[in-house]
Structure 1
Amino acid sequence: MKLKSIFISALVVLVGSSCSESYFDINTNPNSLPTASPNYVFTNAINTSATNIAGTSAGQGSSEIGFYWSGQWTQGNGYIINTAQFAYNFTNGDFNYWDNYYDNLQDYEYVINNADANNQKFLKGPAKVMKALLYQQLVDMYGNVPYSDALKGTASLAPKFDDQKTIYENLIKLLDEAIVDLKANAFAGAFVGSDIIFRGNTTKWAQFANSLKLRILIRQSKVAGREAYIKPEINKIISEGSGFITGEEVGVGGPTFYLATAGKLNPVYDRWGYDANGAKRALNNYPRPTQFLINTLKANGDTLRMKRIAYANSGENGNAPGTSLLKEVSANYSGTPFGVSSGYLPANTVPLGPSLLVKGEYNRPYILMTASEVQFLLAEAKERYADVTLPQTAQGYFEEGIKQSFRVLGANVAGAEAYKGSGIVNYDWAASPNKLSAIAIQKWISFVNFNGLEAWAEYRRTNLPETPQSIQLVGETKRPLRFFYPNTESGSNGTNVEAQGAIDVFSTKLFWDVD
């Protein structure tokens, strides 16, 4: 749990003051790092969160594995099959997102602990929201993790692990604290630029906090006995009054932040799209939408979204960015079977589409949470708990969720309206006998290209949709339910790792995964 980005920010402060006379003061200890201003640390921390989740041209982010294991993406042929990902042949040396997450969490903790002293109280609320987001993702990847004893530097070099359900409850409290801080501390105008998500809009930060709280609560909805906890907490969100994220996404960066310069591109564009000079990345041919996804969309007439999720076979036309080389008709859209290692080359399969990648659009925001996800969370909350004080019907939230999914993909939202009364199960509310299943399947579709971690978490929680097993595992039914604790943590904190017991990634379920 290092302080890497804090030290980097401190170095920036040091370099920036190198021409000042005070730098040459003989009474200054040259071996003592200067204090990093929380606003610099906060900006860097948010950017780091985006790259840790999305990945970069140099390495996989935590969300990418979720796209694979939720059945939305697979590996393009032309590469040696990755057996860790598609045959589930992995160890505690694979999928170490832990170290980068805790490094990043230390940055947010620094902001929280130093905001008051630097007259930047307005950063405490946003830093707490981001801290809660990262811890939610850590729990969903690893289960029990260090929480109450973590982020203390040398005061706790071997932090104990906390129970995952208790962490979830503490994250709700942390988000409550964040909202109090947000309401009490408006951003100072000179520091709005340090917030590369909402540009200092504390109301939107509070709405993000409430939306994240709802995600954490609904994640537990299938756990026996949790209704008595969840319902009052949902009602508390409503009575608090800030509302939820609606009609827009929670996005990092954007046109004023990302640049056409190496290392400063949107991380998605940088990893799977193009470099700063517009040259296509080799990895553009790696992730491929699955045959199951493409065929499911076709079977339900959902071609408007399909054509935004994927380009037609052969990919994007670089001379007409945002369009396909082939004619964009359903017959030219072919998915790749999950885990297949040959026979499905780039020329005859679909790649990631214009909802995610368009040549030259290097400065799109990186999306942390979509408005469609929030609507589906509200739909499930109302369907499960009819007496919560949410103002709309479950059907209303469900239909708005589909509409917002069309919008964020860049598809004509009239296509969403056409499903009302269509009779298509899991699209038309009235025609869907199992409303919770319809919500789960539409939420799964809405995550495609935007949030692999949530897609995988919801797949584990609901077991929907029923995706095909990897071709690499003939006759086997096992699926990964979590990660091993990384060998780096075992090496530095072995006693506390061992205290979690034997971990079987195929049977040691997280507390909210009850089916």
Structure 2
Amino acid sequence: MKFKTLIIAALMAVGGSSCNTKSFLDINTNPNQLPTSLPNYVFTNALNTTATNIAGNTNGQGSNELGFYWSGQWTQGNGYIITTSQFAYQFTNGDFNYWDTYYDNLEDYQFVINNADANNQKFLKGPSKVMKVMLFQQLVDLYGNIPYTDALKAAAVLAPKFDDQKAVYAALITALDEAIVDLKANPFTGGFSTSDIAFGGNITKWVQFANSLKMRILIRQSKVAGMESYIKTEINKIVTEGSGFITGYDAAIGGPSFFQPAAGQLNPVYDRWGYNETGAKRALNNYPRPTKFLIDGLKAAGDTLRLKRIAYAIGGENGNTPGVSTKAEIAANYAGTPFGASSGYLPANTSSVGPSLLVKGDYNRPYIIMTAAEVQFLLAEAKQRYSDVTLPNTAKAYFEEGIVQSFRVLGANTAGAAAFKGSKIENYDFDSSTDKLAAIAIQKWIALTNFSGLEAWAEYRRTNLPVTPQSIQVPDNKRPTRLFYPNTEGGSNSANVTAQGTIDVFATKLFWDVD
């Protein structure tokens, strides 16, 4: 595991002052290498780092991007040399190393937890614990067994042992319970809410986010034998706690008061695939392309309102009218690229990632880490699978609200969601759908598009839905089930990596991937 050395010469007294969030995006400033480092500064920087690690930026690909590809939502635009590691699945332990950046980020949150009390900043402990859970779950979903109980102990444990992935999942539920206790006991004080670039110091929203992450963790295990009683008990505990879930808003990092029109200070999505600080197109602007499978499916269902937010029409965004396609926005002008295609599908005749994600000049959007739509579909699945849980609404009601929230976050008119009620369209009209769980899974997949690629890939592995085409680059039907442990960990913690056995990325499934 890669360790970060936090050099702390002195801890300054807080004195009731708040931090200037804009300073954290100064590319010449790293709070973890300053002679003094207060928890509130590290916390703000940690949140920003989380967004960058998941989204990626000009320095490299984030975990969400890989998920968009491997869940069948995006593919590579023609005009670039085909990336065989992603589309022919020719990758090794030297590719896709999210491990080091994730653990590096986790050490930031652990630093905040370790130093919050001494600096009268207890209000940062709960949020940091919630963020740790989110990142640890994503690490499990990428790699399986990981260091957990021995992790984040710096020089005290230089070769951390690996914990069983199922045990880590169980520990994360307990960690969220502890985080909620901290959150309720320690509201933000003074002006320190500005250090929280996720929820602005709103404790209720932090608790709702924690409950939403619990649902994600619990439902991920829904196909694992012997888990039903545990999952139902934990869901009922969430209902009893009473704070609810993120509803009508999304968990997001940054925003207009944080991201700035300067190099290194843009929203990371905008920075990687959109434009630079002067509005010039990035070199990767035409790289991610919505798949033919995605676009054809939306068109077939008459789901054109979401289609026009997920993608631009062929030819891309009109640079003179940001957020609007160059071609007329009619269904016939939307065309996807077959997954893994390396020729024949250029920007002039295919659609690009749409205004729900990229609009020229819109450099300061919050970076979404969990949508309310996803949460509604989690609740729908919970109620459909476990009808006796104490969730108050029906599976149908949660399903239909999930579609509404998907319209909302995409920027489509939410009234359009009502058109699918009673439409008889399979996987859109709940009553007419022959397999309710399949309908929930497919609608969740659509709702995750452009926002949560890693989650979409995890859910694809768990449900095998939707049935997406194989990459043109791959002659058989094998697909990755996980990543290799990175060579950096193999070099510094070789005995514990070796103890995990031989990893076959096409056959060594994660514990929740049972089909």
> Which residue of structure 1 aligns with residue 499 of structure 2?
499
SS at match of 2:284: helix
> Which residue of structure 2 aligns with residue 78 of structure 1?
79
> Which residue of structure 2 aligns with residue 202 of structure 1?
203
> Which residue of structure 1 aligns with residue 24 of structure 2?
none
* Cα distance per residue 1:453-501 (max 9 Å; x no partner): 0000000000000000000012x01000000000000000000000000
> Which residue of structure 2 aligns with residue 25 of structure 1?
none
* Cα distance per residue 1:334-393 (max 9 Å; x no partner): 100000000000111000100000000000000000000000000000000000000000
Matched, 1:359 2:360: yes
Q: Is the CA contact (8 Å cut-off) linking 1:5 and 1:45 kept in structure 2? A: no
SS at match of 1:283: coil
Matched pairs, number: 496
Matched, 1:95 2:103: no
> Which residue of structure 2 aligns with residue 236 of structure 1?
237
> Which residue of structure 1 aligns with residue 25 of structure 2?
none
Q: Distance in 1 between matches of 2:100 and 2:3?
A: 11
Q: Distance in 2 between matches of 1:247 and 1:203?
A: 14
Q: Distance in 1 between matches of 2:293 and 2:35?
A: 54
Q: Distance in 2 between matches of 1:260 and 1:34?
A: 28
Q: Is the CA contact (8 Å cut-off) linking 2:74 and 2:289 kept in structure 1? A: yes
Which AA in structure 2 matches 1:480?
A: P
Which AA in structure 2 matches 1:423?
A: K
Residue 48 of structure 1 and its aligned partner are, at CA, apart by 0.2
Residue 195 of structure 1 and its aligned partner are, at CA, apart by 0.2
Q: Distance in 1 between matches of 2:127 and 2:11?
A: 23
Q: Distance in 2 between matches of 1:5 and 1:173?
A: 28
> Which residue of structure 2 aligns with residue 448 of structure 1?
449
Q: Is the CA contact (8 Å cut-off) linking 1:197 and 1:251 kept in structure 2? A: yes
Residue 36 of structure 1 and its aligned partner are, at CA, apart by 1.6
Change in CA separation of 1:326 and 1:165 when aligned onto 2, cut-off 3 Å: same
Q: Is the CA contact (8 Å cut-off) linking 1:2 and 1:106 kept in structure 2? A: no
SS at match of 2:119: coil
SS at match of 2:187: coil
> Which residue of structure 2 aligns with residue 432 of structure 1?
433
The TM-score normalised by the length of structure 2 is: 0.95
Q: Distance in 2 between matches of 1:470 and 1:119?
A: 53
> Which residue of structure 1 aligns with residue 214 of structure 2?
213
* Cα distance per residue 1:300-320 (max 9 Å; x no partner): 000110000000001000100
Residue 332 of structure 1 and its aligned partner are, at CA, apart by 0.7
Residue 228 of structure 1 and its aligned partner are, at CA, apart by 1.3
Matched, 1:480 2:480: yes
Q: Distance in 2 between matches of 1:343 and 1:172?
A: 48
Summarize the alignment of residues 238-257 of structure 1 with structure 2, pairs less than 5 Å apart: 238-257=239-258
Residue 3 of structure 1 and its aligned partner are, at CA, apart by 5.7
Q: Is the CA contact (8 Å cut-off) linking 1:133 and 1:212 kept in structure 2? A: yes
Q: Distance in 1 between matches of 2:503 and 2:469?
A: 25
Matched, 1:49 2:50: yes
> Which residue of structure 1 aligns with residue 30 of structure 2?
none
> Which residue of structure 2 aligns with residue 146 of structure 1?
147
Q: Is the CA contact (8 Å cut-off) linking 2:298 and 2:307 kept in structure 1? A: yes
> Which residue of structure 1 aligns with residue 372 of structure 2?
371
* Cα distance per residue 1:89-129 (max 9 Å; x no partner): 00000000000000000000111111111110000000000
> Which residue of structure 1 aligns with residue 512 of structure 2?
512
Which AA in structure 2 matches 1:377?
A: L
Which AA in structure 1 matches 2:152?
A: L
* Cα distance per residue 1:113-150 (max 9 Å; x no partner): 11111110000000000000000000000000000001
Q: Distance in 2 between matches of 1:5 and 1:454?
A: 31
Q: Distance in 1 between matches of 2:11 and 2:402?
A: 43
Q: Is the CA contact (8 Å cut-off) linking 2:11 and 2:36 kept in structure 1? A: no
Change in CA separation of 1:438 and 1:341 when aligned onto 2, cut-off 3 Å: same
SS at match of 1:189: coil
Q: Distance in 2 between matches of 1:3 and 1:256?
A: 31
Which AA in structure 2 matches 1:172?
A: I
Change in CA separation of 1:261 and 1:388 when aligned onto 2, cut-off 3 Å: same
Residue 189 of structure 1 and its aligned partner are, at CA, apart by 2.3
> Which residue of structure 2 aligns with residue 409 of structure 1?
410
> Which residue of structure 1 aligns with residue 271 of structure 2?
270
Which AA in structure 2 matches 1:495?
A: A
* Cα distance per residue 1:388-445 (max 9 Å; x no partner): 0000000000000000001100111121111000000100001101100000000000
Summarize the alignment of residues 16-415 of structure 1 with structure 2, pairs less than 5 Å apart: 34-415=35-416
Q: Is the CA contact (8 Å cut-off) linking 2:10 and 2:36 kept in structure 1? A: no
Q: Distance in 2 between matches of 1:220 and 1:396?
A: 23
Which AA in structure 2 matches 1:409?
A: L
SS at match of 1:511: coil
The TM-score normalised by the length of structure 1 is: 0.95
Change in CA separation of 1:202 and 1:344 when aligned onto 2, cut-off 3 Å: same
Which AA in structure 1 matches 2:188?
A: F
SS at match of 2:338: coil
* Cα distance per residue 1:55-85 (max 9 Å; x no partner): 0012100110000000000000001100000
Q: Is the CA contact (8 Å cut-off) linking 1:380 and 1:436 kept in structure 2? A: yes
Show structure 2 runs of 5+ residues with no match: 13-32
Q: Is the CA contact (8 Å cut-off) linking 1:312 and 1:325 kept in structure 2? A: yes
Change in CA separation of 1:5 and 1:55 when aligned onto 2, cut-off 3 Å: farther
Q: Distance in 1 between matches of 2:382 and 2:36?
A: 45
What root-mean-square deviation, in Å, do the aligned CA atoms of Structure 1 and Structure 2 show? 1.5
Residue 190 of structure 1 and its aligned partner are, at CA, apart by 1.7
**Structure 1 moving runs of 4+ over 6 Å:** 9-13
Q: Is the CA contact (8 Å cut-off) linking 1:5 and 1:107 kept in structure 2? A: no
Show structure 1 runs of 5+ residues with no match: 14-31
Q: Distance in 1 between matches of 2:338 and 2:118?
A: 55
Q: Is the CA contact (8 Å cut-off) linking 2:11 and 2:38 kept in structure 1? A: no
Residue 35 of structure 1 and its aligned partner are, at CA, apart by 4.7
Which AA in structure 2 matches 1:181?
A: D
Residue 327 of structure 1 and its aligned partner are, at CA, apart by 0.6
Q: Is the CA contact (8 Å cut-off) linking 1:145 and 1:163 kept in structure 2? A: yes
Change in CA separation of 1:466 and 1:509 when aligned onto 2, cut-off 3 Å: same
Which AA in structure 2 matches 1:145?
A: I
Q: Distance in 1 between matches of 2:270 and 2:115?
A: 34
Q: Distance in 2 between matches of 1:100 and 1:377?
A: 28
* Cα distance per residue 1:174-210 (max 9 Å; x no partner): 0000000000001012211100000000110000000
Q: Distance in 2 between matches of 1:237 and 1:472?
A: 45
Q: Distance in 1 between matches of 2:325 and 2:468?
A: 27
Residue 2 of structure 1 and its aligned partner are, at CA, apart by 5.1
Change in CA separation of 1:191 and 1:50 when aligned onto 2, cut-off 3 Å: same
Which AA in structure 1 matches 2:390?
A: T
* Cα distance per residue 1:279-331 (max 9 Å; x no partner): 01110100000000000000000011000000000100010001011111111
SS at match of 2:253: strand
> Which residue of structure 2 aligns with residue 471 of structure 1?
472
> Which residue of structure 2 aligns with residue 462 of structure 1?
463
